[in-house]
Structure 1
Amino acid sequence: MLKTAVKHPEVLAPAGTPEKLRIAIDYGADAVYIGGDAYGLRSRAGNFSFEEMAAGAKYAHERGAKVYVAANIVAHEQNLAGAGEFYRHVRDAGIDAVIVSDPSLIETAITEAPGLKVHLSTQASATNYETLNFWQHEGLERVVLAREVGIAEIKEMRQHTDVQIESFVHGAMCIGYSGRCVLSNHLSLRDANRGGCAQNCRWKYDLFDIPELGQKRELMGHNAEGKIEKFSMSAVDMSMIEHIPDLVDAGVDSLKIEGRMKTVHYVSTVANVYSTAVRSYCEDPEHYQLKQEWVDELWKVAQRELSTGFYYGTPNEDFQLFGKRRRLPHYAFVGEVLGYDDVTKQVTVQQRNNFGIGDQIEFYGPHFAHHTQIVKDLFNDENEPIERAPHAMEIVHFTCEQPVKPGDFLRAQSKL
């Protein structure tokens, strides 16, 4: 039977700063999630003031996008005071929903900020449709599934509930169940469940066998090259770009990208790829084909190896970081286009990383626009010829062989 166009799920991107919010939406995201000055799990992200929330919501709504605020800490007694006022400010700023895990904060949001929609955070570990129906009955419109849920389970959930389902499709995976981990508390005195995760699972560890008191024997791990290597508990990152049809057909309403701490290079690239792939499948599922260029594009911003997480079974040792990297990104973000002169073919760029004459530069923009060229000339903001642009955020000009637009980005081989 021929497939007709299918419902387009939301592509939900991270936005750790107002700049990243703008970029994520410009590069195709249907919605973004941000953090406020309280109640979020990323205390070191560029979290938003209420004024910045209002400005971000206005920018998004003018472009048909939505903004959600993550307020998903596990609250202790001292965290509860002022929550109602916080949620009312979020609502009045025009935010579309808050993402919450703590039942007391959920109740506060519903009762003290009427009209503010609430989404259940992945931290709440929703893994079955009975749980989804419970939270819908409590007044929530969406549940972000635990990252331990598989495709087959999502299909079953969809058959038994009509609450919105959101699921992570790309980004870092946590060694703790649904992100609930106490390693950081014990080893760094930073509470991971209240915004202070030190990512201790990414550290390297010696491993010892202690069969009896006073005895200690180091257990040697060997990497792929046979060399001794310390152990870690670090999971590889997730990427579901090769399985968009499975996600859409299973009934996922929102495809969530992890990474509020990530760079504008990451946010723009990943939002661009997933929005392009999702649009391609939903418009013509019968003739949809995964494009290798989408996969290759994601590897340009990858920090670790990539896997499908728990979607198709329990992860094995290949889903852990150990030994020689199987694949490395080779690109660096080098600048943003500020303007382009159609007559002189000169592009004006705000530099972000060192580049210069003779380097191969790749331009990329929204809707998967790309072209590559060699930098043949380079001028500073006083129009003086220079060989390289080594100073962060400096304004430079050079000849661009194809038209580009403000907001397009530049990347280059990371040897620079």
Structure 2
Amino acid sequence: MRKFQKPELLAPAGNMEKLRMALLYGADAVYLGGKLFGLRAFASNFSAEEMKEAIRFAHSLQKKVYVTVNIFAHNEDINALPDYLRSLQDTGADALLISDLGVWSVAREVLPGMPLHVSTQANTSNWAAVKAWENLGASRVVLARELSLAEMKEIGSKTDVELEAFVHGAMCISYSGRCWLSSYLTGRDGNRGACAQVCRWEFGLREKNRPGEVYDVAGDERGTYIMNSKDLCLLAYLPELMQAGIGSFKIEGRMKSAHYAASVVSVYRRAVDACWSDPEHYTVKQEWLDELEKVSHRPYTTGFALGKPDETAQNYTTSAYLQSHEFTGLVRSWQQGRLTVEQRNNMKAGETLEVFRPDGSLGTLVLEEMRNEEGDAITVVPHPQMVFTCKAEEEIPVNAILRRRMY
């Protein structure tokens, strides 16, 4: 019999800064990759020592860290796998995310006590498959993104193992991320961590009897992006996900910015808390929707949650991102009316910035009396990660984000 409990909020962590921001802005756990055997080779990822530091930090907050080992391994990968798995255990990781049955078998043998989660790349899309993974010792199964809420609910009613599902972030055009386009067109294998995101490229149509002639698939001068999916957002369907037995709400985006991690986590933290406390009267607040527009994203869709997506789930005219606000600085300290900030984008004296605090509240700050680290007066902060101070009569908490409206 499934035990219902408040869902975990699980966030991506592409590097240490993103991990810290995700946890400080409300995530219960994060998932990250090491230097090997993960599907995000172009994220910064973590060395063994960096991972130990990250896990110590998470555990100091009573939060968890899951490590991805989710490539589809080839023969040459297996020899190095046992030692790598042991090194992950030494870091104190709370669980490993695995998609390949061979990797699973090695991990179960080498680390018999380590909790193992079935990655979404295993495309687990029915209750029988969930039961099969449970029989193999899975602590949790991450469901395929191609499931409706009704299908999730049926799985939840017929299984007992923990279930995890994506609630927000980029969608892959291929089934559960199993894609060979990148490998075929660029030599970079997306199933081994090196996806070139070919699905976001601009495509045309060529007819074999007319060599050299290329036609727009959807006729305008910008070409077409026939495989360019919108981003998932299930903020409005948290009650249904809870009723389906989903115990972990997962946010996609290890390649995204620290601003993205903080903003999206903050919204879902408030939403999960509100939904759990009163699911019958849960409503999506406009301020949450406004916040999700401030970070880099594509137009939002509900994906497969309400049934098979139609043509509106794709964006055929551009692969460009939307974003209403720009991350300009990160607060390092406040003391005696002066704020210390680390630059993320150019800032100038006199401009008014929005302050986004870890508790989700907003404020404003006018940049006045700016000084560099040597104490010299300045009017502009042009250099990446440059540290400066400015006047701030009211205290602003450490790790608050400063940002400007772009339009």
The verdict on a shared fold, with TM-score over 0.5 as the criterion, is yes
Asked whether 1:296 is paired with 2:290, we answer yes
Q: Which runs of 4+ in 1 moved over 4 A?
A: 212-217, 324-327
Provide the residue aligned with 2:271 in structure 1.
277
1-structure distance, mates of 2:285, 2:240: 16
2-structure distance, mates of 1:201, 1:396: 41
1:397 paired residue among 379, 389, 393: 389
Asked whether 1:82 is paired with 2:80, we answer yes
1-structure distance, mates of 2:80, 2:317: 47
Provide the residue aligned with 2:352 in structure 1.
360
2:328 paired residue among 334, 348, 360: 334
2-structure distance, mates of 1:16, 1:54: 15
- Secondary structure at 2:204 match in 1: coil
5+ unaligned residues in a row in structure 2: which ranges? none
2:43 paired residue among 45, 59, 82: 45
- Say whether the 8 Å CA contact 1:168–1:256 is kept in structure 2: yes
Which one-letter code corresponds to 2:219 in the other structure?
A: H
5+ unaligned residues in a row in structure 1: which ranges? 1-5
Q: Alignment identity in percent?
A: 41
**How does 1:94-109 map onto structure 2 within 5 Å?**
94-109=92-107
Which one-letter code corresponds to 1:387 in the other structure?
A: T
Per the TM alignment, residue 232 of structure 1 is displaced from its structure 2 partner at its CA by 3.4
Per the TM alignment, residue 209 of structure 1 is displaced from its structure 2 partner at its CA by 3.5
1:239 paired residue among 233, 237, 240: 233
- Secondary structure at 2:156 match in 1: helix
- Say whether the 8 Å CA contact 1:91–1:115 is kept in structure 2: no
Q: What whole-Å deviation, never above 9, does each CA across 1:154-183 have from its counterpart, x for those lacking one? A: 110111001111111111111111000000
- Say whether the 8 Å CA contact 2:225–2:319 is kept in structure 1: no
Task: Calculate the TM-score normalised by the size of structure 1.
Answer: 0.92
**How does 1:6-405 map onto structure 2 within 5 Å?**
7-210=5-208, 212=209, 218-219=215-216, 221-222=218-219, 229-323=223-317, 328-341=322-335, 343=336, 345-405=337-397
Per the TM alignment, residue 219 of structure 1 is displaced from its structure 2 partner at its CA by 4.5
Q: What whole-Å deviation, never above 9, does each CA across 1:108-162 have from its counterpart, x for those lacking one? A: 1111112111100111110011100000000001111111011000110111001
1-structure distance, mates of 2:181, 2:315: 18
- Secondary structure at 2:164 match in 1: strand
- Secondary structure at 2:262 match in 1: helix
- Secondary structure at 2:298 match in 1: coil
1-structure distance, mates of 2:305, 2:296: 20
1-structure distance, mates of 2:21, 2:256: 13
Q: What whole-Å deviation, never above 9, does each CA across 1:299-341 have from its counterpart, x for those lacking one? A: 1113211111111111222211223799931211111111112
Which one-letter code corresponds to 1:299 in the other structure?
A: E
Which one-letter code corresponds to 1:31 in the other structure?
A: A
Which one-letter code corresponds to 1:38 in the other structure?
A: L
- Say whether the 8 Å CA contact 2:228–2:319 is kept in structure 1: no
Task: Calculate the TM-score normalised by the size of structure 2.
Answer: 0.94
2-structure distance, mates of 1:116, 1:370: 41
- Say whether the 8 Å CA contact 1:207–1:231 is kept in structure 2: no
- Say whether the 8 Å CA contact 1:11–1:254 is kept in structure 2: yes
